[in-house]
Every structure is written in C-alpha cells, then in structure tokens.
Amino acid sequence: MSLEAAAASARSGFACVFSTADEYETALITERRAQGRYTQSRSYWPLTLFIGCALIVAGTVLLLA
C-alpha cells in the first residue's frame, strides 16, 4: 500500500500545469504582454531609408539627364 502511495506521489511531482503546448504558449504570451514586452515602438528608419533612396534616384536622374 505504501509503495503505491509513493509511486503516485512521485508521478504527481512531474505533472505539468498545461495539458497541451498551445495552452503553454498562450499563457507565456499573455504573461509577456502583461510585462510589456510586445509593445509597438515608433521607428522612423523605414521612412528615412525611403526618403534617402528617393533622393539618390532623383539625383541620379538629374545627373544623367
């Protein structure tokens, strides 16, 4: 009887709170959102690079015209 109780106790120590990987991922993302890790920051690099490329193209056209 005590052997069965010890085996049941040992098995419960390895139990996972989540039954599927999807539940784990959902809980992980929810926790990270609560911490503020997935915030959108305004980056002006794409706009700056576009304007720079447009100026290079315009300069090339003016030089070759």
pLDDT in tens, 6-50: 777 766 666 677 778 899 899 999 999 999 888 877 788 999 999
Whether residue 5 has pLDDT greater than 90? no
57: confidence class by pLDDT, cuts 50, 70, 90: very high
Tokens coding 27:
């809980």
Which residues constitute the domain of residue 6?
A: 2-64
Determine if the pTM surpasses 0.75. no
Tokens coding 41:
């920051």
**Rounded Cα distance, 15 and 7, in Å:** 13
- State the total domains in the chain: 1
Which 3 state secondary structure label does DSSP give 42? coil
DSSP 36: T
